[in-house]
Amino acid sequence: MLWRWIVGFIISLGAGQLGVSILLWWVRRHLGEENDPLPGNSIIRDVPPQLVGLVERLFFTLIVAFNVSGAAVCMAVWITVKMTSTWHRLLRENNPWAGPFALSSLLGNLVSMLFALIGGLVCGGKI
């Protein structure tokens, strides 16, 4: 049983971080690095997105592993809250590349939740 939890967390946290990083690198490379709407000195970068992703995958892996009712709805609500937060709207007013950047963020969120789901199912012994 312990091995399922170890494998599940490796999938969710380790492979999830790698998978999301590769996806975002590939998508944003096609957008062009010079069009990054979040410059390195922006106050928005105070919370590293990798840390947010790690915490959300840990949280949702546990919810799925313990078969908490409404896990899928909770995932969708979390992504909605993140994507409708004010930073995307504020950036869009000042930068036309904020829209494609937001879409790449949405893709990254979906992939992150997929890894959390798979990791949780492994931890819970469902796959």
Contact 38, 101 (CB under 8 A): yes
CA 17 to chain centre: 8
Rounded distance between C-alpha atoms, residue 115 and residue 13, angstroms:
8
For 18, the domain range is: 2-37+50-123
User: If pLDDT is split at 50, 70 and 90, which confidence band does 91 have?
Assistant: low
**Position 44 in a domain:** no
User: If pLDDT is split at 50, 70 and 90, which confidence band does 39 have?
Assistant: low
Q: How many residues does the chain have?
A: 127
Q: Full-prediction pTM beyond 0.75? A: yes
pLDDT value at position 84? 80
**Position 42 in a domain:** no
**Position 86 in a domain:** yes
**Position 99 in a domain:** yes
Domains identified in the chain, total number: 1
Contacts of 89 by beta carbon, 8 Å cutoff, 6+ apart: none
Contacts of 79 by beta carbon, 8 Å cutoff, 6+ apart: 106, 109, 110, 113
